[in-house]
Structure 1
C-alpha cells in the first residue's frame, strides 16, 4: 500500500479504446491511483471507457471479469472486440455472451435508425426515450445500444453497446455493420421504415386505394406495414435502396 493508503495500477488501452482517452495520453500506460479495492469496471469507466466497448481484460497477464478488484501495482491490459483476433477460451466477454442482432438507438440517431431498417435490421427508436428507458429496454429485450453519448453506455444494465465514432450516417452504418458482422442478416424491404414492424405481403387489390396512379399500372408485388399501413413496392425507392446496400457493403 502506498503513502496514506493510496495505491497505483497501470492501465494499457488497446485498439479503438484509445478513442476514449485524451489524445495526449494515447499509446502510453496510464497510472491509476485509488484507495480501497475498486472493481476494474469502475476504474475503466472512471478513465472514460464504457464497459460495453471492452472485450478482454488481462490483469498481470491473466483474464479477469469486470468484478475483479484492483490491487496495488496491478498491470491492466484492456482490449476491444477485434474480429480478426482469436483469444484463448475464457478470455473474451463477447465469446461468452454473443451480441444479438437487434438494436435500440439513442434519440439523436433517427436517420441511422431508418437506414438500418432499410437493411431489414430490427431497430427500436423513439425521439422521447430517456437514457434510463433505453437502458431498461436494452436489458429487457436483449438489444445492442447504439449512441454518440458515452455516458449512456456506462449505464450498469447495458450489456452490449457501441459508441459511434462518426457523425455521418453512411459512415455510422458502415461502422455498425463491420462491428457486428451484419451483412449475413440483411433482409431488404422486410421492415417498415417508420414502425420497425415486419412487412406483410399483400394483394394489389387490398391496397389499390393507397397507390399512386402510375404505381397501379406498372407494379404487381406489394408489402404493407400492419401498423401504419404504409405500402412498399419495388419502384425507384427500391432501386436506390439496392444501390445503397451495394455501396455500404463494399
Structure 2
C-alpha cells in the first residue's frame, strides 16, 4: 500500500535540527495513517517547543491538526519582532518569564539571576524533576538536550543554540523579549532569593574589614543571607555583559 505524502518547509533556526538535505528547501515527507502535525514535526528532529507557527496549505493550525496527505506544511520558529494578530498561539502564554535550567547551564543561571530573572537551577536535577518544575511552576525549561524538549508533557521550553554562557544569555534575552524586564541585582546569584537593603551593622563581622571601611551600601538575600556590595566585581560583570550588548 502506498504511503501518504506531504510537503514540508522549515524556516530560520529550525533548520539546525534537520538533516542537511532538508535544510533551506521544501521536501517531501512520507507517513502512514493520519498522524498529528506535531508528531511529524518531531519525527523530523524538531522539538515542539521550538515551533511558534504552523501553516497547512496557508492556514494556521494547532499541534493536534491531522495530516491526510497532499498538504503543504510551513513551520516557523519564534518571531522576535513580528506580531501575528488573530492567530491563536500554539501554547498558552506565560504571564511572567520564569525559568528552570538543566544541570549543564550553571553559568547561564547565574547571569539570569543577576539580571533579576526568577531562575531555578540545581546541578543534580534529573530530567523528571526539571519537567515537573516546568509544568507545576509554569517555567520555561532551557536546555541543549533535544530529547528533553521532545517530552510530550513539556509545554514551555527553549533550545540553546549557543555554547558560551554569555551568548546563551543574549539568545534568551532576544528569544523571550526580556530586555525591558531586566532588574539587575534584585535576585541572589547563589540561591535565586530576592535581595533587599542591609545595614553596615549587619555586615560587621561577616565581610572583610577593608570592605566595611570602604563600603556604605550593602544588600542581603532574604533566603540564604548572602551579602552583596558594590565593588570591582560589579564593574567586571558590567564590562563582560556590555560585550554582548547588555547594559545596566
**Could you list the runs of 4 or more consecutive aligned residues of structure 1 that deviate by over 4 angstroms after TM superposition?**
none
> C-alpha displacement at 1:99, in angstroms?
6.7
**2:36 aligns to what?**
39
* Secondary structure class of the residue paired with 1:249: coil
Distance in 2, Cα, partners of 1:162 & 1:99: 17
Answer whether contact 2:193 2:221 (CA < 8 A) is retained: yes
**1:133 aligns to what?**
129
1:32-111 alignment, distance < 5 Å: 32-93=29-90, 97-98=93-94, 100-111=96-107
Of 110, 133, 147, the match for 1:151: 147
Distance in 2, Cα, partners of 1:240 & 1:15: 34
Q: Where is the helix percentage greater, Structure 1 or Structure 2?
A: 1
> C-alpha displacement at 1:61, in angstroms?
0.8
Long gaps (5+) in structure 1: none
Long gaps (5+) in structure 2: none
> C-alpha displacement at 1:179, in angstroms?
0.8
> C-alpha displacement at 1:129, in angstroms?
1.2
Under a length normalisation based on structure 1, what TM-score does the superposition of the two structures give?
0.92
Answer whether contact 2:5 2:69 (CA < 8 A) is retained: yes
Answer whether contact 2:194 2:223 (CA < 8 A) is retained: no
Give the superposed CA RMSD. 1.6
Matched, 1:177 2:138: no
Distance in 2, Cα, partners of 1:88 & 1:21: 29
Under a length normalisation based on structure 2, what TM-score does the superposition of the two structures give?
0.93
Answer whether contact 2:199 2:217 (CA < 8 A) is retained: yes
> C-alpha displacement at 1:157, in angstroms?
2.2
**1:118 aligns to what?**
114
> C-alpha displacement at 1:40, in angstroms?
0.6
How many corresponding residue pairs? 246
**1:11 aligns to what?**
8
Answer whether contact 2:50 2:157 (CA < 8 A) is retained: yes
Question: After superposition, what is the alpha-carbon deviation per residue over 1:48-107, rounded to whole angstroms, capped at 9, x for unaligned?
Answer: 11111111101111110000111111111101111232324125436x625731111011
